[in-house]
Amino acid sequence: MWSAAYAPPTPTPTPTPAAVPRATTGTAPSPGACVPDAPGAAGCPLYVAGTTTLPSGSGVDCQAVCAEYSTCSKRGGVQAGFTCDATLCTDQCTDRNLLGKACGALPKCDLSEIIKAETAAQCSCCASQLCGCQPNTQTNEAIGSLVKRQRTLGVTPQCDINGTLCGTP
């Protein structure tokens, strides 16, 4: 599943059920660069503690990154940026139904600083880790549920790969 972070704007958006957009507009990445949140070999790697960092001079405002995560919410106060990051970048064919639940509110959110951070650090689903953003209680519970469901479906969640976005049981 491709992120729409780098999709060029179209005159008439035609959403598809399988698409989970990360932003409404964007720019194409430079050739040869990885693409944050993209599938397969084109995608950037996940966050690695102690290795993945924001380069100096990136201009990323971590306060703005965390604000984008905290204000992008759906019913019940669940912050969609966190739940989407917990599932999108480890998605497999067996858990696609989880993505709508995890990422559905994103098209209504400003994700520009999140995209800027992930692009600068060349990592996927990682801006919250880069900036130390913390999900609220409802979001942690939702992440925990999504992680459990991914495991049940045979998908290795980001939590098991790098110990982040694990939520609470």
Q: What is the pTM of this model?
A: 0.80
Cα 161 to Cα 28: distance, rounded to the nearest angstrom: 28
Task: Kindly give the confidence (pLDDT) of every residue in the chain, 169 residues in length, as a single tens digit, with 9 standing for 90 and above.
Answer: 434 344 333 333 333 334 444 444 445 545 558 999 887 788 899 999 999 999 999 999 999 999 999 999 887 899 999 999 999 999 887 777 888 889 989 999 999 999 999 999 999 999 999 999 999 999 999 999 999 999 999 999 999 999 999 999 8
As given in the structure block, the two tokens for residue 124 are 């996927």
Does a structural domain hold residue 134? yes
User: 51 forms bridges with which residues in the sheet?
Assistant: none
pLDDT digits (tens, 9 = 90+) for 127-168: 999 999 999 999 999 999 999 999 999 999 999 999 999 999
Please tell me the predicted confidence (pLDDT) of residue 30: 56
Does a structural domain hold residue 81? yes
Residue 89 dihedral angles phi and psi, to the nearest 5°: -85, 0
Mind spelling out the 3-state secondary structure of the chain? CCCCCCCCCCCCCCCCCCCCCCCCCCCCCCCCCCECCCCHHHECCCCCCCCCCCCCCCCCCHHHHHHHHHHCECHHHCEHHHHHHHHHCCCCHHHHHHHHHHHCCHHHCCCHHHHHHHHHHCCCCCHHHHHCCCCCHHHHHHHHHHHHHHHHCCCCCHHHHHCCCCCCC
Does a structural domain hold residue 144? yes
Please tell me the predicted confidence (pLDDT) of residue 9: 39
* Domain, as residue range, for 115: 61-162
In sequence order, the 6+-apart residues with CB closer than 8 A to the CB of 97 are: none
Does a structural domain hold residue 23? no
Does a structural domain hold residue 142? yes
What is the residue type of 22?
R
Overall number of domains in the chain? 1
Please tell me the predicted confidence (pLDDT) of residue 32: 59
Does a structural domain hold residue 147? yes
As given in the structure block, the two tokens for residue 127 are 């801006």
In sequence order, the 6+-apart residues with CB closer than 8 A to the CB of 61 are: 113
Does a structural domain hold residue 11? no
Please tell me the predicted confidence (pLDDT) of residue 55: 95
Does a structural domain hold residue 111? yes
